[in-house]
Amino acid sequence: MKTADPELMRAINRFHVLDTIRRFGAISRVEIGERIQLSATTVSAITASLLDDGLISTRHEGDLRSGSSRGRPRVMLTLNPEAARVVGAKIATNRLVFTVTNFQGDVLANLTLPVRVDRLPVDVIADLVEDGVRRCVLDAGLALDQIKTVALSLPGIVEHGTGRVRASSIFRDTNVPLKEAIVRRLGIDTIVESDANAITMAEHWFGRCRDCDDFVVVAIEESLGLGVMHGGQLFRGARELSLTLGDMIMGSDPDHALKLSEVASERAILNGEHNDPQIRDAIRLGQGMSRVRGLIEAGDNRLKHAAGRAGAALGIAIANLVALFAPPRVILVGSTLALGDHLLDPLRTSFARATPESLANVAQIVIDEVGDELWARGAAAVALGELYGSPWGTTGPARRSYTEFSSAGTRE
């Protein structure tokens, strides 16, 4: 009989114990064991190690069964918020957003820098990121040497392991070694992540999917991002690459393959540089789609058609995701949602038409108009997920169930 790797099993058990404490707050050892189906002996050994490492702490409560202060107090376990502090950041074309959090994800400080960074040289962007991190850390009442990890998120295709940005609307160049540039300036461990993966982590930790380990996030902005959470872990491609939806092929002829981004991105809706100077200014301020909505409602039929075409294409793309992954929940986020029903009505209609009848009631579409701070907080959650010691990193093989491990050998 094949025996599972004991070290891997211990790492998996440790991760799940810590993650359970994070998700459920003050919790007893007995309840931890019940929730993740581990023996009392295993839970006690793991929690003792976590206490020794300073990652969790104890809290004594009265005898809850009798409703009085008499009797033996219960020992509840909680995360130690002081175990680590991290910085998360969202890099967008027209702003930089930073947040500092503690080990349990509580926000200690936020900072937004409204500066247009797209197409600036890499070194200039890295300098701006350095300044933002240092300022936000100072606002949190901390020193830089008290920060464990910095996690940056941005649109595009990112190699998570190397911190190299293969392609992004932020940079002029391809294959940008962003992690290397930031580490050189700050001297702190740095993670580079796609913004779609960051908001996926934010939805799982703080948002609309705290109760769900399997879901898909579609980020609809200037770029069209995709995040897939499977079994509570971010799913990545080969070489730890982030996913993108904008390159999905929606049709082709002998001379051209039509990509989703050519139909459904904000640039596509505007059909390039719009001649309305107010739209151009709104785009620079990150409010372009709000201005477009106002023009549609004032009678601009060209923009109305473009928004409807984008929504219909997105509905088909999401139907393809449902056919591939059958997620119970699809979360839509991003600045393009400011178009409201001009985008969402055709999206829902085309989604219903394109979804196979056998999957018609599988996925729920959830609209979540989140603010910038949650995107940055999601980047911080990516950093914390690695500090929690996931045996897969945040990039490794998909989560294997406890049933699989027990079938491979005896589980501790």
Average pLDDT of the residues in 272-282: 65
The mean of the pLDDT values for the chain is 88
The one-letter code for the residue type at 100 is V
User: Within 10 Å of residue 234's Cβ, how many Cβ atoms?
Assistant: 27
Predicted pLDDT of residue 399 = 37
Higher pLDDT among residues 7 and 83, named by residue: 83
The residues, any chain, with a CB within 8 Å of residue 249's CB and separated by 6 or more, are: 257, 258, 259, 260
Q: Are strands 364-367 and 329-333 parallel, antiparallel or unpaired?
A: parallel
Task: Enter the tokens of residue 12.
Answer: 């998996």
Predicted pLDDT of residue 181 = 97
User: Could you please report the per-residue DSSP string of 276-342?
Assistant: -HHHHHHHHTT-HHHHHHHHHHTT-HHHHHHHHHHHHHHHHHHHHHHHHH--SEEEEESGGGGGTHH
CA nearest to 150, candidates 207, 209, 199, 91: 91
Predicted pLDDT of residue 71 = 57
Find the largest Cα–Cα distance for the chain: 80
Predicted pLDDT of residue 11 = 83
Predicted confidence band at 4 (pLDDT cuts at 50, 70, 90)? low
Predicted confidence band at 336 (pLDDT cuts at 50, 70, 90)? very high
The residues, any chain, with a CB within 8 Å of residue 110's CB and separated by 6 or more, are: 97, 98, 99, 136, 373, 376
pLDDT over threshold 60, residue 265? yes
Q: Are strands 107-113 and 95-101 parallel, antiparallel or unpaired?
A: antiparallel
Could you tell me which residues are beta bridge partners of residue 253? 256
Task: For 84-115, write each residue's pLDDT tens digit.
Answer: 999 999 999 989 999 999 999 999 999 999 99
Predicted confidence band at 409 (pLDDT cuts at 50, 70, 90)? very low
Task: Enter the tokens of residue 121.
Answer: 């040289």
Predicted pLDDT of residue 389 = 74
Predicted confidence band at 402 (pLDDT cuts at 50, 70, 90)? very low
CA nearest to 366, candidates 315, 401, 331, 405: 331
pLDDT over threshold 60, residue 387? yes
Overall pTM > 0.75: yes
pLDDT over threshold 90, residue 121? yes
| Dihedral sign computed on CA atoms, order 88, 93, 96, 97 | negative
Predicted pLDDT of residue 346 = 98
Helices of type H across 140-287? 178-186, 195-205, 261-264, 266-270, 277-284
CA nearest to 42, candidates 14, 6, 7: 14
Predicted pLDDT of residue 395 = 38
Determine the Cα–Cα distance for residues 315 and 368; give it in Å rounded to an integer: 16
* Share of the chain residues as helix, strand and coil, in percent rounded to the nearest 5: 45, 25, 35
Predicted confidence band at 390 (pLDDT cuts at 50, 70, 90)? low
Contact 231, 301 (CB under 8 A): no
Predicted confidence band at 23 (pLDDT cuts at 50, 70, 90)? confident
Determine the Cα–Cα distance for residues 73 and 219; give it in Å rounded to an integer: 47
Predicted pLDDT of residue 63 = 54
Average pLDDT of the residues in 192-202: 96
Predicted pLDDT of residue 405 = 34
Question: How open is the CA angle 252-330-26, to the nearest 5 degrees?
Answer: 150
Task: Enter the tokens of residue 327.
Answer: 């997620």
Residue 66, CA atoms < 13 Å, CB-side half-sphere: 10
The set of long-range contacts for 4-9, using a CB threshold of 8 Å and a minimum separation of 24, is 4/405, 4/408, 4/409, 4/411, 6/412, 8/391, 9/405, 9/411, 9/412
pLDDT over threshold 70, residue 195? yes
